[in-house]
Structure 1
Amino acid sequence: MLGPIPIRAYALCIIAGIIVAVMWGERRFVARGGQPGTVTDVAVFAVPFGLVGGRLYHVATDWETYFGPGGDPVGALKIWQGGLGIWGAVALGAVGAWIGCRRRGVPLPFFADAVAPGIVVAQAIGRLGNYFNQELYGGPTTLPWGLEIYNRVDPATGAPDSLGGVALDHTPIEIVHPTFLYELLWNLLVAAFVVWADRRFRLGHGRAFATYVAGYTLGRFFIEMARTDPATRVFGDIRINVVVAGVVFIGALLYIVLVRKPREVLPALAGDTPDGPNGEDEPKDTAPAPSDADEDGPGDRDRVVAEPGDRST
């Protein structure tokens, strides 16, 4: 608690993920030839758009919980209780990023490639919040890393409260697959793969971002099928997120295959304008494409610690 305000672990995980994504995205953006501060400026638009988009997707695909018989319409606004759909977050977050990029004169695909691995690491950090909320898990298991689920209640009323309640009985009612943990680990692998592929093939024009999307949706397709929490079903008895993951994966894969342009080179910095130091009507030079040494050298600005003991990026 912060005075009368409850501090939710889920919200803290989301905030931590955003900070990591912005800081790492800034390093990658500058290493690729961008101006410092751009990622932070764009995030001012992208983050709130993404949070709203993520919540809208969740509410739209779980409509009955909030607006069905006996539903809680006000609960649709309680984002701190969990419930963010990554599909809506990325879609509407991209709109916010487009607005920010337009204001800074940066191509959206260039920006997206720089922030791609940071976004998927942010998703991994956000998945930690599902542990505290006791949500998004799979079926029963006897594996040693199984998640223990307890019957949490409000100690004052005895009413079930899985979010803010306490476990009066310390015997778990169920031990289940922590599918959110599986997704967390998969996301870290995707981040490492995107960084490797970006360095190896010098991806540009949104291909690094598409690689992140393809990698994430591939794992999400199978992890989603292992989940047992209530979900909207389509085409008979298929979880809607399984369908969305499959469709988005195909779209991302097609983009990677069809887009073959070399990595972009940003125009000259603002100082090299027609009235700038070149003293000519048009700037002569452009910001040079960063070499491998620029991104991967001893002073590598493209490096983060993805998890304890992991020195890769």
Structure 2
Amino acid sequence: MNQLTAHVLNHVVALSIPSPSSGVWHLGPLPIRGYALSIILGIIAAIWIGERRWVARGGRAGDVQDLALWAVPFGLVGGRIYHVMTDHDLYFGAGQHPIEALYVWRGGLGVWGAVAFGALGVYLGARSKGIRMLPVLDALAPGVLVAQALGRWGNWFNQELFGKPTDLPWGLEIDADHRPLGYLDDATFHPTFLYEFSWNLLAFAFVIWADRRFRLGHGRVLALYVMTYTLGRGWIEMLRIDAVELSDVGGLRFNVWTSIVLFVVATVCFVVSARLRPGREEHVYRDQRPDQLDEQPAPGSPGGNL
């Protein structure tokens, strides 16, 4: 390597985004993992946002926290199942250790498994509380975007799921032992975690704006969440170089196809819902009572800000 090349590489690295030297810290014998902290922070943010939106829709304070007791464990299990199913050779291939499929703290949660199972948990909890499903999903959906945005920082702590090599100033430094074969000589990569973090926050702002501007109801906020998320996830997924099973189906990664299919389905649902049931639900409980109607916040109250 000549001096000019070394100078250029040093300059690029100086402008790049560093990765943490470790994603685990120890408080005595207790390990504190950056990945877990990112997920926990995302869950807290989603509950806080969802609670405010639910109260603004006429729901009771505390409902979302109760539903989270169902949604969070279901979502974690579903996210892990989806990840293991789509990358099963990491755990059940030759020389692998199947027990590691249970090691959630090491990373590996599939978004769509988490969303699907989390929604199932919400459904079970909503039934027990007499809550209508579509209004509560519309209230919760934007907060999920924030949870996904914060959760992506777990990939930064683990130095995983990054993109192709790049010499852009915001390239992400990755230690050699985290780089895939074929990329050992590359120093910086596209920070896909940061792209998705930024995209999800922009999508959150757009969905909140659209909901307030057009008073979306009957599942249309949920559909818009899916549309905006998949629109970004599709192009970000194309940048990634991590090896995944079903990684080249018709020239596209499996998660790109998933994004395309879900975007189309969500768009159809949005249009059909708008035509058949315009406006927003007046009641958010199956057996709405007069005292519950009185609990709706007045326009401009703090509960209506989101």
Q: TM-score w.r.t. structure 1 length?
A: 0.81
Q: CA 1:136 to 1:268, structure 2 compared with 1: closer, same or farther past 3 Å?
A: closer
**Secondary structure, aligned partner of 1:200:** helix
Q: How does 1:164-313 map to 2 (within 5 A)?
A: 174-232=187-245, 233-260=247-274, 261=277, 262-266=279-283, 287=293, 294=299, 297=300, 299-303=301-305
SS of match in other structure, 1:6: strand
The corresponding residue for 1:88 is 113
Q: How many aligned positions are there?
A: 272
Alignment pair present for 1:108 and 2:133: yes
The alignment partner of 2:32 has SS state of coil
| 1:99 alignment counterpart | 124
Q: CA deviation at 1:105?
A: 0.6
More relative contact order, 1 or 2 (CA 8 Å, 6+ apart): 2
How far off its partner does 1:269 sit? 11
Q: Is the 8 A contact 1:182 1:223 kept in 2?
A: yes
| Structure 1 residue ranges without an equivalent (≥5) | 153-161, 163-171, 274-282, 304-312
Identify if the C-alpha distance between structure 1 residues 151 and 253 changes in structure 2 by more than 3 Å, giving closer, same or farther.
same
| Match in the other structure for 1:3 | 28
Q: Is the 8 A contact 1:50 1:88 kept in 2?
A: yes
**Contact (CA 8 Å) 1:110, 1:264: kept in 2 or not?**
yes
Question: Identical aligned pairs, as a percentage?
Answer: 54
What CA distance in whole angstroms lies between the structure 2 residues aligned with 1:31 and 1:202? 12
TM-score by length of 2: 0.83
What letter matches 1:211 in structure 2?
L
Q: Give me the CA root mean square deviation.
A: 2.3
Change (3 A) 1:289 1:229: same
Over 3 Å counting, the alpha-carbon distance change for 1:146 and 1:234 in structure 2 is closer
What SS does the corresponding residue of 1:263 show, helix, strand or coil?
coil
- Seen in structure 2, the aligned counterparts of structure 1 residues 113 and 132 have a Cα distance that, compared at 3 Å, is same
Q: Which residue identity lines up with residue 2 of structure 1 in the other structure?
A: L
- Is the 2:60–2:295 contact (alpha carbons within 8 Å) kept by the matching residues of 1? no
Say whether the 8 Å CA contact 2:141–2:225 is kept in structure 1: yes
Indicate the residue corresponding to 1:72 in structure 2. Answer: 97
The structure richer in helix per residue is 2
Given that 1:266 and 1:286 are in contact with CA atoms closer than 8 Å, whether structure 2 keeps it comes out as: no
Please report how far the alpha carbon of residue 289 of structure 1 lies from its aligned counterpart in structure 2 after TM superposition: 11
Partners of 2:237 and 2:114 in 1: CA distance: 18
Moved over 4 A (4+): 267-270, 288-291
The whole-number CA distance in structure 2 between the counterparts of 1:173 and 1:221 is: 24
Q: Structure 2, unaligned stretches of length 5 or more?
A: 1-25, 179-184
Q: What's the secondary structure of 1:219's corresponding residue?
A: helix
